[in-house]
Structure 1
Amino acid sequence: MTILLILLIVTAMAATAYVLVRGVISMASGNGLNGEAQQNWMRKRVLFQGIAIALVVLIFIVAGGRG
């Protein structure tokens, strides 16, 4: 169970980094992103960060239950 949670958190962290880098590159290139598109990138990043934090909390709960 812990291995699965660790794999999930690594995936969530990678997704967060991907969305962050992709959003920054898109905004820096100036390829005509409007405010709506920029907000969508920000919402996706916040969503993936929230998932990663929830998984960390779940790992702590699982690890604390075994102690």
Structure 2
Amino acid sequence: MTILLIIALVAAMGATAYVLVRGVIAMASGKDNGAKQQEWMRKRVFYQGIAIAIVAVILLFAKGAQS
């Protein structure tokens, strides 16, 4: 189960990094309007939230395994 959570965490971190880079590139190029840039920001925050939730679950499992 822990291996599956770690794989999910790496995927969420990768998605966060991808969306962050795409958003920065879009902002730097000036092609996208403000609404599109906000959409990239919302996606990044969403994937970061998923990654944080997975880390919390991993820590809960780790704490339970110690007891």
Shorter-normalised TM-score: what interval? over 0.9
Provide, for residues 3-52 of structure 1, a one-character-per-residue CA deviation record: whole Å limited to 9, x for no partner: 00000000000000000000100110111x11111110000000000000
Contiguous gaps of at least 5 residues in structure 2: none
Taking structure 2 as the reference length, what is the TM-score of the superposition? 0.95
Do structure 1's residue 8 and structure 2's residue 8 form an aligned pair? yes
Count of residues in Structure 1 that have an aligned counterpart in Structure 2:
66
- Which residues of 2 match residues 26-65 of structure 1 at below 5 A? 26-31=26-31, 33-65=32-64
Q: Partner amino acid for 1:63?
A: A
Taking structure 1 as the reference length, what is the TM-score of the superposition? 0.95
Aligned equivalents of 1:38, 1:21: Cα separation in 2 = 12
Runs ≥4 residues deviating over 4 A: none
RMSD after superposition: 0.5
Aligned equivalents of 1:19, 1:35: Cα separation in 2 = 16
Contiguous gaps of at least 5 residues in structure 1: none
